[in-house]
A and B are shown apart, each in its own frame.
Chain A
Amino acid sequence: MGAFEYRQAQEIRDVFARHGCKYLFIGKSGAILLGFPDTTQDADIFAEKSPTNGRALVASLRELGFNLANEQAREIERGKDFVQLRNGPFDLDLVFAPDGIERFEDAWRRRVEVEGFPVCHIDDIIASKAATNRVKDRESLPRLRSFRAYWVERHDRST
């Protein structure tokens, strides 16, 4: 399996939209969509935890080529807090309750659209990484905070 590609992000966007999934790109993959220049390995999706959304996610993931057993599908429909998928065309982490973000609706309200990709606001991405308190996140936070300053100014100028 190779690295996650733009084409695959487009497939997520299009298939998820067709099935009516409510989700946001989060983590470093979200920051990259916003323009953050850095590297990462997989895509992180923050999905709304609800039975309807869970079923839509399962249908979408299967359409994208993820090989989900029935029990795995049920877990996604139920909305386990974290699901790591390595059984499809690319690596994908599904997060239903990221650290540092209280409710999906709040993050959804603050979302940013980039070429049709729904992305968490940079403040939510930073809040989530800061709350996680992992070594690798701690290392990337100073640069991410600098990017926030740059992005907010640029974003405010363009809106």
Chain B
Amino acid sequence: MSTNRTKEQVDPQESPCFGPAIPAEWLADFEAAARRPLALRMKYAFIKTYKPVLDDASYRSFDTMEDYRRWCEENLPDWLGYGRV
């Protein structure tokens, strides 16, 4: 077993999850969410803020996903994060 793991990570063998190491803070979040009923989880999860350009039309459609991705890159502000890496 590795002994040089960071303090922020939970060792997979010590956590209930036997996958890759999960940061302790995230693991606590996952456990807390699992204890909440779905309705409450959704109440916390869905938010509404205005997204410029994206929210300015009531309907848009694209023949292909590539068309949609390109439209996002050409029309949306970078800070919305819709541009490709």
Contacts and interface: CB of A to CB of B under 8 A. Distances in A.
Grouping DSSP codes into helix (H, G, I), strand (E, B) and loop, the A interface class, with mixed when no group exceeds half, is mixed
Contact of B65 (A35, A85, A99): A99
Nearest to A87: B58
A6 B42 contact: yes
A115 to B, nearest CB: 6
Contacts of B32: 37
Q: How large is the interface on A (under 10, 10 to 19, 20 to 34, 35 or more residues)?
A: 35 or more
Given A72-B59, A146-B22, A134 B83 contact: yes
Interface of B: 12, 16-20, 22-23, 26-27, 29-30, 32-34, 38-39, 41-49, 51, 54-55, 57-65, 67-69, 72, 78, 80-85
Given A35-B30, A138-B85, A148 B46 contact: no
Contact of B42 (A32, A81, A147): A32
Contact of B38 (A68, A99, A115, A133): A115
B84 A134 contact: yes
